[in-house]
Amino acid sequence: MGREHTYVIDGKPWRVKWVPRSRLAGDDGACNRRLRLVRIADGQTAEAELGSVIHELIHARLWDLDHGVIEELEALLSQAVWDCIGGT
Ligand SMILES: [Zn+2]
């Protein structure tokens, strides 16, 4: 079984699951509200993966948020978390 985590978003459990990139049509991640499932492409660098997880979790919680704002938050939060955990 591959990597998978469960997180509570707005009171409901969501799964975050790593899958081959080929199953995401080449994208880094995908968010399915109906299934409460985030899929993340395997094989990313740790820093890129962090950004992808943050991006998709924001989609999950704030699905109608402007995509430019999501991309801004992805960049900001992934950099801040990366700096906090001492990533290089
Ligand atoms: Zn997006």
Q: What is the pLDDT confidence band of residue 1, given thresholds at 50, 70 and 90?
A: low
Side chain identity, residue 5: H
- pLDDT for 12-28, tens place per residue? 999 999 999 999 999 99
If you measure from the C-alpha of residue 82 to the centroid of ligand 1, how many angstroms do you get, rounded to a whole number? 20
If you measure from the C-alpha of residue 39 to the centroid of ligand 1, how many angstroms do you get, rounded to a whole number? 12
- pLDDT for 30-74, tens place per residue? 999 999 999 999 999 999 999 999 999 999 999 999 999 999 999
More confident residue, 23 or 87: 23
Cβ atoms 33, 17 nearer than 8 A: no
Ramachandran quadrant class, 75 (left: phi over 0; alpha: psi -120 to 50; beta: rest): alpha
If you measure from the C-alpha of residue 59 to the centroid of ligand 1, how many angstroms do you get, rounded to a whole number? 7
Number of structural domains found in the chain: 1
Domain with 41, as residue range(s), is 4-84
If you measure from the C-alpha of residue 75 to the centroid of ligand 1, how many angstroms do you get, rounded to a whole number? 12
